[in-house]
Chain A
């Protein structure tokens, strides 16, 4: 693989840029791999990359039913942050955030990470108390968090409705300045290119249709491109975890729901940070292309349809317009949906399953994109050693029966109350 650099670009200019090569191969599946990762999204590709890079493993395949990055990796709102209150969550996401800060160099691929600040707004005294509590918890673990006054919020985001009779009056905020956004497709492509150059086989259009079992263990997968043997198999298909685990006879603490996002036409810079809210469920940021990206609540009923319902979209847009009235002048140009694994405590699941040599990475709810590097790193460790990394040990599948849930919102065992 040739390295991308300004020099190679200049040299290519002399030959009409005809030097470009495919960024990854399109190999035929082999009959056996040491490790098979099901799912070629950002998480699966990152897992393969770190398995090869950090653990030195060579005989690895990523199986993808469609094309890489074509699922939730291409359907999120690209927000990156680690501002969670609970220790296991902010430690995992902070580990990821540190990787984000060096990711373009690490992969020799511009993932366009833009640490523009991720800000939660507070709309009441109670909100401000919760934000202060969250910020304190983060700072205790060395993660940056600054409580903002009303004036500071107004200075950072002049287009917010700061009037006293605003629908959602703003009292202040909590900002994580190292948070921001990244280019979602580039993350999948960068990890794919890196993993491929280290010998990982990325096999697209290869859907897993069953597992090859040996007693209480798994020794391979059945796919649309034939049977493939494996030492270990890692499921990494968040959104479809219930379906794929079901092929192995497992019933998960996950319900699949649709999450929508939408983007306006491109305009000059008007939103400087990532705006979120402690009380509402609406998040707003502006892409580098100029479109204002909105996201909201999931459609709160089970669905595997990659399309959403207008009444939920209206809820997110109504909140966004109340916060930033100027957005009402923009035209919405695209809306889309992804299928999310809603887990029963709102936290992900990364670890072993009751079946030998079968592992699970899923349950990311609507927060998977930001975790991509951390998810890949810890899952690679888990797949390489058969045991969880310290960072993902709290996120085991059996935590529900042990009563050790990681419930950031404190809403109890219902996936549809997140």
Chain B
């Protein structure tokens, strides 16, 4: 199990969090249909590092972005999501 360093609460057990989707799959509201389709239905899915959106559902309930390695589970960054992070 991972320990996720919530930017608001500090390190917490992964069981308090829920994975939502990757950053590359957030669909901008004004996206043209081709882009919306690509973002909605495809993923980079690298066997390496990707940026993921998680939510501290059973804690502070805030959304955050994890930079995580998908083989080692190493979390190199966990940053809060603010208005500037929205597409």
Give A contacts to B, CB under 8 Å.
240, 242-243, 246, 251-256, 300-305, 309-311, 344, 400-401, 413-416
Q: A255's contact among B14, B43, B72, by CB below 8 Å, is which?
A: B43
Q: Which residues of A contact B15 (CB under 8 A)?
A: 311
Contact across chains for B42 and A256 when beta carbons are under 8 A apart: no
Q: Which residues of A contact B73 (CB under 8 A)?
A: 303, 305
Q: B41's contact among A243, A253, A304, by CB below 8 Å, is which?
A: A253
Query: What are 9 A-B pairs at a CB distance below 8 A?
Result: A256-B47, A256-B70, A301-B54, A302-B52, A302-B70, A305-B73, A311-B14, A401-B41, A416-B19
Within 39-87 of B, Cβ neighbours of A (below 8 Å) are at 40-47, 50, 52, 54, 70-73
B1 interface contact, C-beta 8 A = yes
Nearest CB on A from B49, distance (A): 11
Contact across chains for B37 and A302 when beta carbons are under 8 A apart: no
Give B contacts to A, CB under 8 Å.
1-2, 14-15, 19, 21-22, 37-38, 40-47, 50, 52, 54, 70-73
Q: Do A252 and B1 form a contact, CB below 8 Å, given A301-B52, A302-B22, A302-B50?
A: no
Question: With contacts defined as CB atoms under 8 Å apart, how many contacts are there between chain A and chain B in the complex?
Answer: 69
Classify the secondary structure of B's interface with A. mixed
Q: B42's contact among A240, A252, A302, A304, by CB below 8 Å, is which?
A: A252
Complex CA distance for A400 and B39, rounded to whole angstroms: 12
Contact across chains for B70 and A304 when beta carbons are under 8 A apart: yes
Contact across chains for B43 and A254 when beta carbons are under 8 A apart: yes
Q: A302's contact among B1, B19, B41, by CB below 8 Å, is which?
A: B19
Q: Which residues of B contact A243 (CB under 8 A)?
A: 45-47
Q: Which residues of A contact B45 (CB under 8 A)?
A: 242-243, 246, 251-252, 254-256, 302
Q: Which residues of B contact A303 (CB under 8 A)?
A: 70-71, 73
Complex CA distance for A90 and B85, rounded to whole angstroms: 44
Complex CA distance for A415 and B42, rounded to whole angstroms: 10
Q: Which residues of B contact A305 (CB under 8 A)?
A: 70-73
